[in-house]
Chains A and B, each alone.
Chain A
Amino acid sequence: MDNNNIDFKDLWKKQTITQPNMEDLITRLKQFKKTALHSLWITNILLFATCIFIIVIWYFYQPEFISTKIGIVLMVSAMVIYLVVYNRLLRTYKNIDATQTNQEYLQKLILIKRKQQFLQSKILSLYFVLLGIGICLYMYEYTSRMSVFYGITSYVVLLIWMGIAWFYLRPKEIRKHEGKLNNLIAKFEEVNNQLIS
């Protein structure tokens, strides 16, 4: 024998195994469905609620300036774009066909992760820009009714906050995601290369 009489097959099959009850599996199945939905819904509900809140304000307070209306539209679209992209990405990731060959599967995983990497940084930036411009326009109507001093102060405070978000929070968030994704892509590529070599 080519492996010097070590019967690997025999050893392999001697592994102790307990076959769990099928009932356990069904319970697990239900749990699994629940948690998968859970993570998806939290982000969705939060952003959706914010959109509704903004629209309700529009409805009850009837802004007069066109700038306010444009501001609202920008803010809402920022959130909607984010929502749509986030959901679509999650869906494609969940639905990778698990019955392909390992090689095809690995390539799909890499592709999706790359796409995710691209979208995350681009969409996040777009989200910040739209939201920022939206807020500035939205505030104009209300600050114009204040005294010059308070009006300017409001904008200064807002711009400082947006500066922090843009120059500190945004890159930090992107870095966090990128680090994780880069490692993962590298690992998947390494595994894929094992098949090619």
Chain B
Amino acid sequence: MEFEDIYKTYWDRIFRLCMGFVNDYDAAQDLSQETFIIVWQKLETFRNESSIGTWIFRIASNNCLRQIEKQKRFPKSELPIHLSEEKTYSIEPQIQFLYKCIAELPETDRIIISLELEDIKQSEIAKILGLSEANTRVKIHRIKEKLTQKFKENGQQ
């Protein structure tokens, strides 16, 4: 697969994963770009041992985990741009609420549920995280319950 095709096919999915992780539009944009930079650098080393999707999602989720470090170094700056741009991104409150809830979960749960919502097979999710399939299934179930609970409490149904 050519880089350009990968970029076009996966940008949206990677962006949503990052957005679920940080719930901040600009940060998610940055994280997605970084992911594709790594993909671009590493594409030569990709062998068809796993599907390209699994491979890319691994890079993306690892990159999300790594930004924990950057987060500490650069506390979210209150740039005035964010304020003016916020309106452009404002979407249905339910969608915003979903992303907010996900970003509040423990880090690895954010990744798991994002991948699940992206319709990735549970066996693939297990391979991305490095978990057993059974464990993954249990985790997904628990996270969904947690989210449903939050939606109920918030009267978002």
What bracket does the count of chain B residues touching chain A fall in?
35 or more
Report the separation of the CA atoms of residues A20 and B26 in the bound assembly, to the nearest whole angstrom.
12
Report the separation of the CA atoms of residues A17 and B57 in the bound assembly, to the nearest whole angstrom.
18
Chain A residues with Cβ under 8 A from B33's Cβ?
A: 20, 24-25, 28
1/0 per residue B75-115: CB within 8 Å of A?
00000000000000101101100110000001111010010
Report the separation of the CA atoms of residues A181 and B102 in the bound assembly, to the nearest whole angstrom.
27
1/0 per residue A1-35: CB within 8 Å of B?
01111101101111111011010110011001000
Report the separation of the CA atoms of residues A180 and B131 in the bound assembly, to the nearest whole angstrom.
29
Contacting residue for B7 out of A16, A22, A180, A187, CB 8 A: A22
Contacting residue for B65 out of A3, A106, A183, CB 8 A: A106
Evaluate contact between A194 and B151: CB separation under 8 angstroms.
no
User: From residue B31, how far is it (CB to closest CB) to chain A in Å?
Assistant: 12
Evaluate contact between B157 and A102: CB separation under 8 angstroms.
no
1/0 per residue A93-124: CB within 8 Å of B?
00000111111111001000000000000000
Evaluate contact between B95 and A15: CB separation under 8 angstroms.
yes
**B122 contacts the other chain (CB 8 A):** no
Contacting residue for B111 out of A3, A99, A102, CB 8 A: A102
Residue of B nearest to A26 (CB): B40
Within 8 A of A (CB), among B12-39: 12, 15-16, 19-20, 29, 33, 36-38
Instruction: Tally A residues with Cβ within 8 Å of B.
Output: 40
Evaluate contact between B108 and A194: CB separation under 8 angstroms.
yes
Evaluate contact between B66 and A195: CB separation under 8 angstroms.
no
Evaluate contact between B69 and A184: CB separation under 8 angstroms.
yes
**A126 contacts the other chain (CB 8 A):** no
Q: A102-B129, A187-B68, A195-B108 are in contact. Are A14 and B62 (CB under 8 A)?
A: no
Residue of B nearest to A29 (CB): B37
Report the separation of the CA atoms of residues A17 and B20 in the bound assembly, to the nearest whole angstrom.
13
Evaluate contact between B129 and A103: CB separation under 8 angstroms.
yes
Evaluate contact between A101 and B108: CB separation under 8 angstroms.
no
Chain B residues with Cβ under 8 A from A180's Cβ?
A: 72
Report the separation of the CA atoms of residues A102 and B119 in the bound assembly, to the nearest whole angstrom.
19
Report the separation of the CA atoms of residues A19 and B20 in the bound assembly, to the nearest whole angstrom.
17
User: From residue B74, how far is it (CB to closest CB) to chain A in Å?
Assistant: 13
**A86 contacts the other chain (CB 8 A):** no
Evaluate contact between A19 and B12: CB separation under 8 angstroms.
yes
Additional pairs, 7, CB under 8 Å, beyond known A22-B4, A103-B129:
A12-B20, A14-B91, A15-B99, A98-B63, A100-B130, A187-B68, A195-B131
Closest CB pairs A-B (n = 7): A101-B130, A103-B130, A12-B117, A194-B108, A105-B62, A3-B148, A191-B107
